[in-house]
Amino acid sequence: MVTFWRLGCEAARQRARGQWHDEMSETGTGSILRRKAVDGRQEHLARSMPPPKALRLGLERAAEKGLALALDVASMQYELVGHEALAGRLDSQALLAVLDGDNGEPAALAIETQALAGLVEHATIGRVIARPAPGRVPTRVDAALVTPFVNDALARFVALIEAEGPVPGWLQGYRFGAMAAGPRTLSLALTAHDYHLFEMDLSLAGGAKSGRLVVALPDCRIAQQKADAARGDARSEKAFQAAVKTAPAEMRAVLTRLSVPITRLQSLAVGDRLTVAGDAVQDTILESATGEEVARVQFGQVNGMRAVRLRNMGLPGAEEAAQGDGFVAEKSPGQGNNELDELLAAETALDALLPPVEDDPAGDDPTGDDLDGDDLSDLDDLIRLSAEDIGDPTALANPPGKTGAGTGGSAAPGDGV
């Protein structure tokens, strides 16, 4: 009996010891895993970028890198407020503006007087005056001066959150839209039910001026989907542009257009010639596949292949770029006889200017032989003309086929001879 009792007590003690050991093992393992999970979560939160932190860094970096201005966010309050309560949180004396969102959902911005004055002073005179600015109504000039800073800060805010993650569903890109006349007008322009309200106290230029800046972003879950769609559209647009740049484009160089009878058109055969205007190769029309005129070009060849050259159209450096490209212009029919054409044209013009020569009804000798007996002593008193006064003597010669004054000294009527 004693032996069995001892054996039973020993077994009970071993069972109790083993159970206690199992419980301790489970408790220790669970505690270790829990601590690891908590540490990992804290480490992840430390690396993540919550919206208040991202907005603070976006403002400070935009001021430092974009404006070379020392801007510090002294304090920030972040909360989710309803649309009705938002108007009461905005200062009526501040610069109020609507922020345009990528998905069309607007947001709100308010820059109070002192913060606005510091930003405007830095943008205009390059420094922030260390005294309070007098109260005044914000103008469109103020809005234009602070718009680059606001857009840069909002872009950095979105980029920081997207880079670090996780990205909230309501996040989207924003940019400065338009000024609002007052809190009520701004409230009427907003359409969302709830807004993420960021209220920040800014310190400019080491405390030279301090003021408040308020940003209200809509809590719209569809924003992320539309933002993704917008980014997808941007990628599609780039792909479309790349496809268009590599797409073939058919162009036609039209030398001239002729109208011929249908009978001749039907009888045309290889070797027949069609008459083309002489300036066709110099003024060729470049058309699209649909027949629309694209440009006027010069017809020629490059490396033995037919080619056209676009006219410089007065662009700077076009003539220098055209030199050395291997382009050889085609010669127009008859090109190279320009001097002869000019001489013929000048002769025709001279014929039109000279008066016609009439026959002598008295039958006098036009050669001047009958002047031998006349007294010509008075001719010495005539004004002597130099070669410059007369001009080119050859230009006064009569053209072939015309009868005119001979070389005996007769002149045209009206010359005073």
Kindly list the structural domains of the chain, giving each domain's residue range(s) and its CATH number in brackets, ordered by start: 51-230 (3.40.1550.10), 249-257+278-313+322-330 (no CATH)
Tell me how crowded residue 6 is: count the other CB atoms within 10 A of its CB.
10
Q: Which SS3 state, helix, strand or coil, does residue 296 take?
A: strand
What pLDDT was estimated at residue 36? 60
What pLDDT was estimated at residue 133? 92
What pLDDT was estimated at residue 412? 43
Find out whether 163 and 31 touch, Cβ atoms under 8 Å. no
Task: Tell me the CA distances in angstroms from 284 to 257, 330, 338, 348, 403, one per residue in order.
Answer: 11, 11, 21, 31, 46
Kindly state the tokens that stand for 38. 């908590």
What's the rounded mean pLDDT across residues 283-308?
Answer: 83
pTM of the model: 0.46
Could you tell me which residues come within 8 angstroms of residue 153 by beta carbon, excluding any fewer than 6 positions away?
55, 58, 59, 61, 62, 63
Is it the case that residue 350 has pLDDT exceeding 80? no
pLDDT in tens, 135-180: 899 999 999 999 999 999 999 999 999 888 778 888 889 999 999 9
- Whole-angstrom Cα distance, residue 304 to residue 331? 15
- Identify the residue with better confidence: 40 or 197: 197
| Least confident range of 178-187, 205-214, 234-243 | 234-243
Find out whether 97 and 138 touch, Cβ atoms under 8 Å. no
Q: Which of 29-38, 130-139, 236-245, 283-292 has the highest mean pLDDT?
A: 130-139
DSSP string, 189-224: H---SEEEEEEEEEEETTTTEEEEEEEEEE--THHH
Query: Hey, which residues does 211 pair with through a beta bridge?
Result: 202
Under the banding of pLDDT at 50, 70 and 90, the label for residue 234 is low
Could you tell me which residues come within 8 angstroms of residue 283 by beta carbon, excluding any fewer than 6 positions away?
296, 298
- Identify the residue with better confidence: 199 or 227: 199
What pLDDT was estimated at residue 95? 95
